[in-house]
Every structure is written in structure tokens, then in C-alpha cells.
Structure 1
Amino acid sequence: MDQSVLTEIKCPQCYLLADLLSEEGIYGIFGLPTDQLLRKKRRIFIHSLGAGTINALLDYLLEDEIISQENMNKVRDENDTVMDKARVLIDLVIGKGSKSCLKFIKHLCEEDSQLAAKMGLHKGEVE
């Protein structure tokens, strides 16, 4: 992955160290590839995500071509609870690999900085 892509998706409020690359992928703050990082933070995400944030993240991910319209409909329409939607969403993103996970984290930081901070991915609200 080239540096221009990393510069484009790097969130200044995120703790991610997106410029540290290896053959295994993009590494986050804990020295893990971003897909493994999301896997470790999965439970917090599932239990904390709100309905409005899910819809915003789905829109971002569709726009970025990380998920398809079919995936978006699956998350939105085939799950009854917010937690079920969050579970399907994060599992879809994790399955797409480190680059997609990094973009997802950036959007999460922008859309719900409190949740991102709770997950240890964001510095929190900056006054």
C-alpha cells in the first residue's frame, strides 16, 4: 500500500500508526494489524454502537466500496436488534482486511468519537 492512500485515510484524532507497514498489513496502536485490533475491540463495539451510527457507517462503507449494497441491506434489514446489526457489520469489515479496517476506524472516529475513545482508538473529544 502506498503512502498516499495512508495519508488519505489517516485520522488525526486516531491513535492509529498507519504509516507503520509490514508484509502482514497495517498496524495500529497495539502493534496488531487493524483487522486483529478490531477483533479485540469487537465486544465493546457491539455493546456500545447506536442505531444512528450504524446507518452512518453503512453509508460511508458503501461509498468507499468496502461493502456492497447487498451487504448493506443484509446488515440493515436482516437483523432485528442494534447489537445484531453491529455484530454483522464489524464481522463484514474485519473480513475485508486491514486497509478496509483502517478506513472503518477512521469513519468511526469521525462519526462517534466517544465510542472510538471507549475502544481505545481515538483521543476523545478535543476542546
Structure 2
Amino acid sequence: MSAKDGGQAGRRGPYAKSEERRRSILDAAHAVFAAKGYSGGSLQDVADHASMSQTSLLHHFPSKRELLMAVLERRDEITGAMPADAEEGLIDGVIRTALFNESIPSVIELYTVLCAESVT
């Protein structure tokens, strides 16, 4: 069945590639900001980590602030995937969340670095 007939084997075309590229930029930015912080990590660092030019990165994210906001939204999507347990208390919920976050690369590092930077 062809796309003309109304069927598609999978997402294709420029939008799928753009979304894939955007996700790779977010992954790169997450890694850079977790390692170097928002202040210490540059857009060039993110572009290098994503194997692209800074100009291409700016096509997807016009500013460093917009990139950080997108990284935080992506982090919320990832960590929000954890099912809630209405029966547990606050302490058990915090422990369960911490254990869940340990299983996601760089989430704790990103949180810690951004918290430290926010103090200044």
C-alpha cells in the first residue's frame, strides 16, 4: 500500500527527519548542560555534541534559553512517565522518584547543576 492509497509504512518526509533532529539536539543539550551547566555549556558545545553546525542548531532553537526550556520540557516528559501510586506516603514517593530518576542518564546531574547555578 502506498502513501497515495492512504497507507504509510512509517513516518517519513521532512517533518519526521526534523523531529528526529530536534530530539538529537535535545539529547545533546541535556548531556552538555548536565556536564557543564547552563552557563558553562555553550551552543557550540551542543552543536558539536549533536554533530551539526551552530547555525543549524539555531534553526531549530533560536536561543539558548529556548533550548534550555525545551530540554526541561523533554526531561518532564521522560520523568513524567513514572506511574503514580496514590497509596504511598510522601517519603516513599520521594524515594521511588529518586530511584526512578537514577535509571535515566543525566537527569540527576542536570537537576543538580541547574539548582546550583540558580543560587547565583
Q: Give the structure-2-normalised TM-score.
A: 0.34
Q: Flag the structure with higher helix content.
A: 2
- Which structure has the larger Rg? 2
TM-score normalised by length of structure 1: 0.33
